[in-house]
Chain A
C-alpha cells in the first residue's frame, strides 16, 4: 500500500466525516468492548420492549421504562428511546450498557457528519450506518450481549415517516407499518397487528402504541407497565415533518389511565 502517492490517501481516507472511523483509528480504547464469562451475562441488565408505529405523516416511538437482570428489576426509570438527530430516533433493546453506549455513539456519529459535511445524512444513510455499528458489536453479541435497536425517522426528501428493524448481525429490514423489539416484542407485535390501521392520525397511533406496551407488560415478566405508585410511564416520542418531539408525560399518563379503566370495565384486553 505504500507505493501509492501521498495525495491519494486524501481520497481513500473516508474517515473525514465518520466519528466511528476516527475512534477506530485514533482512540480504539474508547470503542465498546467487553469480555464476560457466560455465567455473568444473565446478571447484565437488559432493556425490554421498544416499539415504532407508523401513522399518516410520521412515526411514534415508545418504550417501557424497565431494565431487567435475570429475575430482578435492575432499573425502573431507564430511557430507551433516544433522539438520534432532528429527524430521527433510535429505540434500544438488549444488553442495556452496550445499547445505551451505541445510541450515544450513533448520535455523535450523525452530529459529527453534519458538522464536518455541513449537510445531513439521508435517512437511508443513517439506517445503514446504524446497521454497521450493530455488526461491529457482533463479537459482544456472541457472548450474549446483543444489541438490537429499532430506528425510525422522517424522510425529509420523500416526506414520509419510515422505520427499520435490525438483526443481531446488523442486517437491516425496512418495515412499513410497525415494529417491536426486545423481550416483550412478540406480545407488543401481536397487539399492534390487531390494532394498527392504515392512515391513522397521531392521536390514534399514540393510543395504539400505549396499548401495545401495556399488553407487552401484561404478558412479559421483563417489561414494566405504567407505574401509578411511583409515577413512571412509558417514554413516548413522535417524529414528523416538524422533527423529533417529546409527547408530554401528562398526556401519556392520561392515556394509560383511560386504557386501564376501559379494560377494567369491559374486560376486553384483560
Chain B
C-alpha cells in the first residue's frame, strides 16, 4: 500500500473549513427573530415544497442552510431524537439545549473524522413555556460543531454578517408579529438586488399563544397580510 502524502493537521482543518464555508456562502440566508409572542423563522426559499424550516417538537423548531440533503438528514435525526426522548420520558423533558448539543457533537465528529465536512449551519429555537423565569432559546451550530447561544436575533447562510449588522441596528424587543416579519424581510433584502415577495419566502413561527404544538407555517394570504401586500 502506498504511503499517503503527509498533510499537517492544521492545514487539513483549514482546508476543510474553507471548503465548508464556501458551500454555505453559496446558499441563501435565514433570519430568526424573537418577537412579543414567540420566535419567528424566515428563510429565503423559492420552493414551497422543499423546506428549510421545520417543526421538531412542541416548542422547538429547526432551520438549516447549505446543502439540502445534509441538513435534511440532520432535521430527521433531530425529530427522532426529540420523539424518542418525549416518548420514553415526558413531553416536557425534550429541550432545545440537548438537541443543540447533539447537533454540535454530530457536526464536530463529521468535521474531524470524515473526508468531506457537512456544508451546513443549523439553528435550533425553543420558545419559552411561559413559566416563571423561562426564556426563549436560540442555538446556532456551525459546520465544525461550534455552538453559539444567540439572543434576540440570529442570521445564517450566505450573507449572514451583513444581515446581522442590519439587525443590530434595527432590532427592537417585544415587536408584534407584523413588525417582526417586515423587519426580517428588510434584513434579507439588504443582501439582494431585488425586493423579496411572499413567493420567495418560507416563514414559520413558534407561537407561544398556541396550545401544545407551538409551530405553525405562515404562507399565502396570511403571509401577504403580514407583509402588507395583501390583495
Write the residues of chain A forming the contact surface with B, with a CB cutoff of 8 angstroms. Answer: 16, 19, 22-23, 26-27, 30, 104-105, 108, 111-112, 115-116, 118
Contact = CB atoms under 8 A, between A and B. Distances in A.
A115 B84 contact: no
Contacts of A30: 84, 87-88
B76 A108 contact: no
B51 interface: yes
A22 B54 CA distance: 20
B84 A23 contact: yes
The 4 A-B residue pairs with the shortest CB-CB distance in the complex, in nearest-first order: A112-B83, A115-B79, A108-B87, A115-B55
B56 interface: yes
B80 interface: yes
Contacts of A16: 76
A23 to B, nearest CB: 7
A27 B79 contact: no
B23 interface: no
Interface in B104-147: none
A207 B54 CA distance: 42
B87 A116 contact: no
Q: Which of B54, B55, B86, B87 has the most CB of A within 10 A?
A: B87
Contacts of A118: 51, 54
Interface of B: 51, 54-56, 76, 79-80, 83-84, 86-88
Contact of A116 (B79, B84, B88): B79
Nearest to A107: B87
B83 to A, nearest CB: 5
A32 to B, nearest CB: 11
Contacts of B80: 19, 22, 26, 112
Nearest to A118: B51
B76 A116 contact: yes
Nearest to A112: B83
A26 B87 CA distance: 14
B60 to A, nearest CB: 11
Given A27-B88, A115-B56, A116-B76, A108 B51 contact: no
A269 B74 CA distance: 60
Contacts of B83: 19, 22, 108, 111-112, 115
Contacts of A26: 80, 84
Contacts of B84: 22-23, 26-27, 30
A27 B83 CA distance: 12
A111 B79 CA distance: 10
A30 to B, nearest CB: 5
Given A16-B76, A22-B83, A105-B87, 17 more contacts: A19-B80, A19-B87, A22-B80, A22-B84, A23-B84, A26-B84, A27-B84, A27-B88, A30-B87, A108-B86, A108-B87, A112-B79, A115-B54, A115-B55, A115-B56, A116-B79, A118-B54
